[in-house]
Structure 1
Amino acid sequence: MAGFRAANRYAKGLMQYALDANQTDLVYAEMNEVINVIKKSDDLRIFLNSPILDVKTKETTLAQIFASFSPTSQKFISLVVKQGRENILSKIAEQFITIYDIMNNIVTAEITSAVELDQSTIDKIVAKAKEGLDANAQVKVVNKIDASLIGGFVLKVGNTQVDSSIKTQLATLKKEFLNNDYIPKY
């Protein structure tokens, strides 16, 4: 993973800076916004990775894009650009969110299903997932759609994965049929 170590170092620095400014919750929300904006815009990703554009252009453009951000986040983004690390800005934001989640005992439950799940179903799945977690842990749900699952869902919490999808059940059944050495007795 290119840039992971650098992103982690910058994220730790941002966390310390946010703690000193007593703005961790605000910076957390802003880093989520950074991820969303970069993820949605192909042009912005190309812009951030361009070696042709100078630092001043990138700094000015990012200042305009994130003009509504707190001074803490704006100064940090400016620093990242001046250091020539704007190409890993999204990774830095992701690492910051990971650090924030660990500090606040927030666990991410990723639910992948074939169709959009209603809130009551999500709540039931999360309640089951919470049984194996610390009593004080908060669960942040990320719901993804993957039509190839056919039905059911896949739940990932930390390093644990529960796969109750039809796709996996069919694959298991197919494997059992292929491994069954049935010899007729006639």
Structure 2
Amino acid sequence: MTGSRAAQRYAKAILSLAKDRNLAKEVNEDMTYIAKTVKSSSELRSVLKSPVVKESAKMNSLKQIFKDVNPITFQLFGVLAENNRLELLTMVATRYNEQYNAMMGIQVARVTTAVPLTPALEAKIQAKVKELTGNEAEIKNTVDASIIGGFILRVGDLQFNASVASQLTSIKRELQNNTYISKI
């Protein structure tokens, strides 16, 4: 992914600065807000990626949209603009969140479901994460109707696949193996 190494370095620098000023949590909240806002606005993404729009115009837009963020976050905007790297803003925000979570010992559980998670389902998934890892985790939900039902849980390098599609594939394989064996 283009720019991911640079985004990692910017995120690390901002996290270090925020830690030094005891504002890491506040900046993390800003970064979460920025990532969600940019991802949900195709116009803002277009402006940030456009080589035609001047960095000063991009900065002015960011200052208007994110006027309530921490001064450290504003400094990030300035540094990215100065280096003509404002298109990396979402990636930097995401990397910051990841580094902050790692620093705080917060794991992220990625859950793929056929339908959006309800609070009751989220509680069950949280219990499964605790059973598998011994710790709680922040749950990120992805909806994928192709799994039909159930869920796929990924925490770090662990994966627990309780999807209906996986079970159907397993049954299909078993039937094929039994059919093949009976022909012998």
TM-score (normalised: structure 1): 0.90
The answer to whether the Cα contact below 8 Å between 2:38 and 2:45 also exists between their aligned partners in 1 is: yes
The answer to whether the Cα contact below 8 Å between 2:101 and 2:107 also exists between their aligned partners in 1 is: yes
The answer to whether the Cα contact below 8 Å between 1:154 and 1:163 also exists between their aligned partners in 2 is: yes
C-alpha distance in structure 1 between counterparts of 2:180 and 2:141, whole Å:
41
Aligned: 1:149 with 2:147? yes
SS of 1:181's partner is: helix
Correspondence list, 1:24-43, <5 A = 24-43=24-43
The answer to whether the Cα contact below 8 Å between 1:109 and 1:156 also exists between their aligned partners in 2 is: yes
Letter in structure 2 aligned against 1:159: D
- What is the match of residue 75 of structure 1? 75
Correspondence list, 1:112-131, <5 A = 112-131=112-131
Any idea what the Cα deviations from partners look like across 1:156-176, whole Å, max 9, x if unmatched? 111111111111111222233
- Give the Å deviation of 1:138: 4.1
Correspondence list, 1:2-151, <5 A = 2-133=2-133, 137-151=135-149
The answer to whether the Cα contact below 8 Å between 1:21 and 1:72 also exists between their aligned partners in 2 is: no
Cα pair distance change 1:86/1:175, threshold 3 Å = same
- What is the match of residue 181 of structure 1? 180
Identity %: 34
Larger helix percent: 2
User: Larger deviation: 31-40 or 72-81?
Assistant: 72-81
Letter in structure 2 aligned against 1:144: T
Cα pair distance change 1:176/1:71, threshold 3 Å = same
In angstroms, what is the RMSD of aligned CA positions? 1.8
- What is the match of residue 170 of structure 1? 168
Any idea what the Cα deviations from partners look like across 1:131-178, whole Å, max 9, x if unmatched? 3435xx441111222222111111111111111111111122223333
Cα pair distance change 1:73/1:165, threshold 3 Å = same
SS of 1:131's partner is: helix
Task: Tell me the number of residue pairs that the alignment of Structure 1 and Structure 2 aligns.
Answer: 183
Cα pair distance change 1:165/1:84, threshold 3 Å = same
SS of 1:6's partner is: helix
